[in-house]
């Protein structure tokens, strides 16, 4: 969808971390639903893999998402990009490769997937955890905290100056709770993450530290980052 040359950037150059959900954040629908709808009712096993791939590749990006990625790529000296998703590795890598943006992402955290002898895609849980509010297979807050600690160590003790989390679903609330007062959560407007954050603000049942910037299009996030760029230090 857009192709460009990539320069190797030192991991210590990048001051800011941007985390993306995948379903209904990078792509404009659920990858699982799209594949189920696209697969014929009768399909030879050896053709399933190609059917999966074609279905995933046809999923449209969320409006303005590719413009956002192009903006981040043009400022790659500042931003490190990561995917954190409860989808699966086959779907995510297939779509990102087709879009020409796989190399933008330093890391993808998602459920492992492989094809069995019948050609069917088998999914495995990403990890186990003790968070009572998340699905058994994945707690995005655990992933975020572990990644931040790992990267700080690799960066000779230097933490990211700001963390930006872009999501849409209820399971994006938990990692957002780990954000600090200098960080920003971008919930997709009128999606579960946005509605739950509004409820939390109204009830004040939980103390949410990060800035909250709802978005409809990736362009909204570009405008926020570009406008705030002079103050991101």
Active site residues: 21, 23
Q: Is 168 annotated as a binding residue?
A: yes
Closest CA to 142 of 174, 167, 110: 174
Q: Is 86 annotated as a binding residue?
A: yes
Q: What are phi and psi of 86, to 5 degrees?
A: -90, 25
Q: What does the block give as tokens for 94?
A: 């297939």
Q: Is 23 annotated as a binding residue?
A: yes
CB 51, CB 194: distance < 8 Å: no
Q: What are phi and psi of 62, to 5 degrees?
A: -60, 145
Name the binding residues: 21, 23, 32, 86, 168
Binding region for Mg(2+): 21, 23, 168
Summarize the annotated binding site for substrate as residue ranges.
32, 86
């Amino acid at each position: 969808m857009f192709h460009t040359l990539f320069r190797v950037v030192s991991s210590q150059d990048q001051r800011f971390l941007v985390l993306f959900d995948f379903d209904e954040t990078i792509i404009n629908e659920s990858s699982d639903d799209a594949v189920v709808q696209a697969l014929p009712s009768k399909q030879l096993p050896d053709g399933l893999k190609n059917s999966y791939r074609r279905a995933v590749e046809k999923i449209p990006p969320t409006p303005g998402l590719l413009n956002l990625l192009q903006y981040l790529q043009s400022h790659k000296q500042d931003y490190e990009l990561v995917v954190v998703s409860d989808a699966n590795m086959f779907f995510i890598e297939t779509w990102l490769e087709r879009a020409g943006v796989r190399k933008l992402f330093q890391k993808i955290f998602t459920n492992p997937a492989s094809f069995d002898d019948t050609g069917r895609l088998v999914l495995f849980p990403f990890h186990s955890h003790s968070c009572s509010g998340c699905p058994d297979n994945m707690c995005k807050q655990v992933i975020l905290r572990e990644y931040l600690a790992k990267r700080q160590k690799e960066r000779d003790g230097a933490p990211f100056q700001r963390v930006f989390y872009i999501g849409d679903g209820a399971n994006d609330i938990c990692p957002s709770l780990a954000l600090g007062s200098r960080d920003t959560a971008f919930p997709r407007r009128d999606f579960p993450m946005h509605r739950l954050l509004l409820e939390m603000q109204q009830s004040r049942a939980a103390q949410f530290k990060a800035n909250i910037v709802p978005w409809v299009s990736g362009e909204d996030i570009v405008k926020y980052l570009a406008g705030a760029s002079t103050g991101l230090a």
